[in-house]
């Protein structure tokens, strides 16, 4: 459980807030509204969170990926993508994670363990069956990020690197430079309320000269969750993150699900979907006070909320 489970919840329970769109069509109809814009900057510009779409930038899934280093195919795909975007007045800045993020080391360690398990399953599958592995076991080839940076720069596509906190610097860059939206797959961006938020996981360059994906409409998400945007920070903090872990929130979730079971007249299973639904109804003023007073985690609650607030109102402000 954690903030990472919010993305799946939005796609399954807030379908009205997830709209299929064509980025090239949107960019063709884009009319700049900012004053004092420098000459030549009237393009529809998105910041791309590369860490959430390495497989997309690599050219998508195909059976030969397990051999590793299909660089010619990757270059061909990126060239087609760059040409299509240029013709449609669309500009992209691809943001890579160059930060150590020592505060998220436990999260990084968990992801590395899961990745190692997938690699073992791939090797076992190939040894036993001699066929390409399933798509869900895709792993980025070694040096993919470095190769992508070199290829993108060679093609004239903007490239940037985070240095301290990746998500914080992505949203900060977007606001500082007045970009039109974010292309990513991290539910944290929903909490930051970007100008527009598009799904990188659903990104698809088609033969029909369209760049299809889904857009998460912020206003519709707030309506679907029936949650005031002012309470998004508390909502995200109570879902758990690197400051407020699942272990810290165990008793809190247990009580929420117990109440939900009593109200529903049946047992509510402790699955991410049910936990998110229970937490959605929680961020009210009286419950905020209760959470801080009743549970032995007041300091972590405050730190987690302040962390999200800092992201939103002062993107490059660092907590002491």
pLDDT tens track for 48-57: 999 999 989 9
Parse the chain into domains and list their residue ranges.
Answer: 3-223, 227-313
For CA atoms 306, 301, 111, 9, give the dihedral sign: negative
pTM: 0.82
Contact 134, 63 (CB under 8 A): no
Q: Where are the alpha helices (DSSP H) in 88-187?
A: 105-129, 144-154, 166-176
Q: What is the pLDDT of residue 266?
A: 76
Contact 52, 125 (CB under 8 A): no
- Neighbour-count burial of 106, counting CB atoms closer than 10 A to its CB (0-12 exposed, 13-18 middle, 19+ buried): exposed
The CA distance from 63 to 67, in Å, is 9
Q: What is the CA radius of gyration of the chain?
A: 21
The CA distance from 11 to 18, in Å, is 7
Q: 204-205 and 211-216 as β-strands: parallel, antiparallel, unpaired?
A: antiparallel
Q: What is the pLDDT of residue 319?
A: 37
Q: What is the mean pLDDT of each run of 10 residues along the chain (320 residues)?
A: 78 87 93 56 89 87 64 89 93 91 83 92 92 84 90 94 88 90 91 89 88 92 82 79 76 80 75 80 55 53 60 46
Q: 211-216 and 18-22 as β-strands: parallel, antiparallel, unpaired?
A: antiparallel
Q: Which of 138, 128, 117, 127 is nearest to 64 (CA)?
A: 138
Ramachandran region, residue 319 (left: φ > 0; alpha: ψ -120 to 50; beta: rest): beta
The CA distance from 163 to 183, in Å, is 19
Q: What is the pLDDT of residue 204?
A: 92
Q: Which of 191, 187, 220 is nearest to 201 (CA)?
A: 187
Q: 181-184 and 44-49 as β-strands: parallel, antiparallel, unpaired?
A: parallel
CATH of 3-223, one of 3.40.50.1010, 1.20.140.10, 3.90.650.10, 3.40.50.300: 3.40.50.1010
Q: Which of 93, 320, 312, 80 is nearest to 210 (CA)?
A: 80
Q: What is the pLDDT of residue 302?
A: 57
Q: Which helix (H) or strand (E) holds 160?
A: strand 158-161
Q: What is the pLDDT of residue 262?
A: 74
Q: What is the pLDDT of residue 312?
A: 56
């Amino acid at each position: 459980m954690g903030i990472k489970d919010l993305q799946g919840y939005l796609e399954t329970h807030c379908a009205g807030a997830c709209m299929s769109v064509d980025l090239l069509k949107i960019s063709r109809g884009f009319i700049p509204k900012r004053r004092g814009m420098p000459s030549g900057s009237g393009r529809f510009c998105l910041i791309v969170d590369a860490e959430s779409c390495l497989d997309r930038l690599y050219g998508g899934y195909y059976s030969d990926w397990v051999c590793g280093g299909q660089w010619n195919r990757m270059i061909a795909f990126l060239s087609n993508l760059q040409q299509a975007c240029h013709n449609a007045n669309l500009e992209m800045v691809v943001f890579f994670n160059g930060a150590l993020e020592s505060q998220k080391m436990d999260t990084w360690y968990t992801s590395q363990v899961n990745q190692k398990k997938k690699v073992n399953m791939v090797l076992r599958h190939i040894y036993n069956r001699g066929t390409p592995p399933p798509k869900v076991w895709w792993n980025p080839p070694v040096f993919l990020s470095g190769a992508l940076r070199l290829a993108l720069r060679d093609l004239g596509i903007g490239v940037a690197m985070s240095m301290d906190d990746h998500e914080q610097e992505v949203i900060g860059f977007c606001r500082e430079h007045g970009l039109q939206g974010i292309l990513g797959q991290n539910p944290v961006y929903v909490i930051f309320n970007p100008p527009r938020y598009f799904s990188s996981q659903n990104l698809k360059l088609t033969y029909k000269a369209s760049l299809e994906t889904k857009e998460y409409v912020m206003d519709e998400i707030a309506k679907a969750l029936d949650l005031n945007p002012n309470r998004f920070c508390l909502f995200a903090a109570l879902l758990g993150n690197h400051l407020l872990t699942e272990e810290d929130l165990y008793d809190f979730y247990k009580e929420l699900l117990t109440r939900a079971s009593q109200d529903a007249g049946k047992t509510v299973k402790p699955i991410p979907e049910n936990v998110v639904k229970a937490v959605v109804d929680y961020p009210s003023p009286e419950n905020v006070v209760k959470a801080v007073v009743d549970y032995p985690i007041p300091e972590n609650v405050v730190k987690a909320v302040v962390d999200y607030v800092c992201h939103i109102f002062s993107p490059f402000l660092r907590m002491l």
